[in-house]
A = this chain, B = another copy of it.
Amino acid sequence: MQAELTEMLRRRGFLWPSFEIYGGVSGFYDFGPLGSLLRDNIIKKWKDLYIREEGYLQLETPTLVPFEVLKASGHVDHFTDLMGECRSCGESFRMSELMKEKGIEIEGIPKEEVEKLVKEKGIRCQRCGGELVLSDFNIMFSTSIGPGSSKRAGFMRPETAQQIFIAFRRLFRYARGKLPLGVVTVGKGYRNEISPRQGVIRLREFTMAEAEVFFDPENPRPPEFQKVENEKLRLLRANGETVEITAGEAVRNGMVCNEMMAYQLSLAKRFLLSLGLREDLRFREQKPGERAHYSSETWDLEVLTQQFGWVEVAGIAYRTDYDLSRHSSFSGVDLTVTVDGRKFFPHVLEPSFGIDRILYCVLEHSYTSDGRRQLLKLKPDLAPIQVGVFPLMPKEGLPQKAQEIYQVLRKHFSVMYDESGSIGRRYLRADEIGVPYCVTVDYQTLQDGSVTIRDRDTKRQVRVHRELIQVLSGLLSGELKFEDAGTPFSSKEEEKEEREECEDENSERVRSRV
């Protein structure tokens, strides 16, 4: 099934390798016409939750950042991966991956000890067998800003967080000095991965959605904590133990550091489930050696996939006052606040989501195939194309009428028009890319204006006499049930056609594989 999905995503315009005609560059992907719309819809849902519903502020900042900022944040000195470069052929390897393939976990182990291990175990270049030279490779992309002798060093940001920290004073004033204060950025992040190989799971340029939640460390309970108190969380603790526990209990027994952390874990889970993912997810606690230099406790939100196993799609890190205090001391600008007569650096809890990985998980979890019919069960508010409009036949005035309807609907929805091939084949093509509702214009439409609507997941059809925009709005928002949209309709001919097309479509797919 996995190969089938990968092939479909490429063929139907979800994911394409970037720079393909120049041989491609690993770690970069294009989101095609359907993939890019799905990505927009996921981002919109994230913003709806964090900005509109939770009331977090949004900050949009440059992706290019001067040296000073990332020196202060510790990235210049610590944002490295251990690299093994072959002395003979020059090939580079990410040591943590190379060693993992040999069954050795080196996360958190100092370079000198890894060097010993490499010698002991006789680990050499995978390409030519040459000797590996180890070094700490900083995975930021570097550049310079400005011309000539006035130029200064800069980097493409490895995370969006830092620019929220350095704008903290303005943000805090905007929020009229209230804590907790949540601030989000959605945008590109950049990491010059040593040898990325896992499709959109490890990209060199990726889309992050990050929130930095500033709070008073003496009062880490968010005002709305009771909303999530009984939310069940599945925790894989650093000690290897897995527990199912409510958010409230997890705080009380010390498994998570405070209520703000438990709240953020619950919110992250709620977001993922709202995308239609199966409950195959867990929070994995990072081990001390594994955590980023700024974090005192981090939970990775992982989703189970067929292709990649457990995939980390979000990390929720307790950054304490690390960043604000570092920027205070490096910039000389006081970033403390005064609350109830106490002067302190707010602490920071950071949920950080990888949108590309989430997009992949949504696709995999939505995809089903019985070997004949492929179906993408995307939620209607995520589907790149919400409505298909088809004339039953490409003749006798049906295309003209269908075009008329199409032109009206596209002012309100994301709509496709298709008149090529049999109606059964068109339904199948629509199912494959997850179009939730297909509107068909038939001979009766020419008489009384009614159309049929087909439901993707059940293949059932209704004939609809009511105002089409209202009906579709209701169906897409979930406020109208499909069976209430019109009168049941079935066409033996169409069903037969659809069955037959399953066969044809499959053979065509094999031919057109690219």
Q: Which residues of A are at the interface with B, using a C-beta cutoff of 8 A?
A: 12-13, 16, 18-22, 25, 27-33, 35-37, 39-40, 47, 51-53, 55, 57-66, 68-69, 83, 85, 90-92, 137, 141-150, 152, 156, 163, 166-167, 169-171, 174, 176, 188, 190, 192, 194, 204-205, 327, 331, 333, 335, 410-411, 413-415, 420
Assuming the A-B contacts A52-B410, A141-B64, A331-B22, are A85 and B204 also in contact, with contact meaning beta carbons closer than 8 angstroms in the complex?
no
Contact of A137 among B47, B55, B148 (CB under 8 A): B148
Contact of A19 among B58, B65, B83, B148 (CB under 8 A): B65
Q: Which residues of B contact A16 (CB under 8 A)?
A: 167, 170
Interface centre among A29, A32, A83 (most CB of B within 10 A): A32
Q: How far is the CB of A142 from chain B (nearest CB, A)?
A: 6
- Pair A13/B174 contact, Cβ less than 8 Å: yes
Interface of A is mostly: mixed
- 9 further interface pairs, Cβ-Cβ under 8 Å (given A22-B331, A32-B59, A52-B413): A33-B59, A51-B414, A55-B410, A62-B205, A85-B147, A85-B148, A90-B149, A141-B145, A156-B156
A-B contact pairs, 11 of them (CB 8 A): A18-B62, A20-B166, A20-B167, A32-B171, A33-B171, A64-B190, A83-B147, A83-B148, A92-B148, A145-B204, A147-B192
CA gap between A204 and B20 in the complex, in Å: 28
Q: Which residues of B contact A90 (CB under 8 A)?
A: 148-150
Interface centre among A145, A188, A333, A413 (most CB of B within 10 A): A145
Q: Which residues of B contact A137 (CB under 8 A)?
A: 147-148
Copies of this chain held together in the complex: 2
Q: Name the residue of chain B whose CB is nearest to the CB of A335.
A: B21
CA gap between A410 and B47 in the complex, in Å: 12
CA gap between A237 and B20 in the complex, in Å: 40
Contact of A13 among B22, B149, B170, B410 (CB under 8 A): B170
Q: Which residues of B contact A65 (CB under 8 A)?
A: 19
Q: Name the residue of chain B whose CB is nearest to the CB of A170.
A: B16
- Pair A21/B92 contact, Cβ less than 8 Å: no
Assuming the A-B contacts A146-B192, A170-B32, A420-B176, are A66 and B156 also in contact, with contact meaning beta carbons closer than 8 angstroms in the complex?
no
- Pair A68/B420 contact, Cβ less than 8 Å: no
Q: How far is the CB of A470 from chain B (nearest CB, A)?
A: 13
Q: How far is the CB of A498 from chain B (nearest CB, A)?
A: 21
- Pair B145/A63 contact, Cβ less than 8 Å: no
- Pair B143/A28 contact, Cβ less than 8 Å: no
CA gap between A204 and B61 in the complex, in Å: 12
Q: Which residues of B contact A18 (CB under 8 A)?
A: 61-62, 163
CA gap between A40 and B31 in the complex, in Å: 20
Q: How far is the CB of A477 from chain B (nearest CB, A)?
A: 11
- Pair A149/B22 contact, Cβ less than 8 Å: no
Q: Which residues of B contact A13 (CB under 8 A)?
A: 57, 170, 174
Contact of A166 among B22, B145, B152 (CB under 8 A): B22
CA gap between A148 and B84 in the complex, in Å: 10
Q: Name the residue of chain B whose CB is nearest to the CB of A412.
A: B52
- Pair A174/B32 contact, Cβ less than 8 Å: yes
- Pair B174/A66 contact, Cβ less than 8 Å: no
- Pair A33/B174 contact, Cβ less than 8 Å: yes
- Pair A21/B169 contact, Cβ less than 8 Å: yes
CA gap between A39 and B36 in the complex, in Å: 19
Q: Name the residue of chain B whose CB is nearest to the CB of A81.
A: B147
- Pair A142/B143 contact, Cβ less than 8 Å: yes
Q: Which residues of B contact A39 (CB under 8 A)?
A: 60
Q: Which residues of B contact A19 (CB under 8 A)?
A: 65-66, 68-69, 163, 166
CA gap between A205 and B163 in the complex, in Å: 15
CA gap between A149 and B39 in the complex, in Å: 34
Q: How far is the CB of A324 from chain B (nearest CB, A)?
A: 11
CA gap between A152 and B411 in the complex, in Å: 45
- Pair B410/A92 contact, Cβ less than 8 Å: no
Q: Which residues of B contact A411 (CB under 8 A)?
A: 52-53
- Pair A145/B192 contact, Cβ less than 8 Å: yes
Q: Which residues of B contact A63 (CB under 8 A)?
A: 63, 188, 205
- Pair B92/A150 contact, Cβ less than 8 Å: yes
- Pair A33/B62 contact, Cβ less than 8 Å: no
CA gap between A72 and B172 in the complex, in Å: 47
Q: Give the 9 A-B CB pairs with smallest separation, nearest first.
A: A90-B149, A36-B60, A31-B60, A33-B57, A21-B331, A21-B333, A36-B58, A143-B143, A85-B148
- Pair A52/B327 contact, Cβ less than 8 Å: no
Q: Which residues of B contact A163 (CB under 8 A)?
A: 18-19, 30
Q: Which residues of B contact A188 (CB under 8 A)?
A: 63, 188
Q: Name the residue of chain B whose CB is nearest to the CB of A28.
A: B62
Q: Which residues of B contact A55 (CB under 8 A)?
A: 410
- Pair B22/A69 contact, Cβ less than 8 Å: yes
Q: Which residues of B contact A205 (CB under 8 A)?
A: 62-64
Assuming the A-B contacts A37-B58, A92-B147, are A66 and B32 also in contact, with contact meaning beta carbons closer than 8 angstroms in the complex?
no
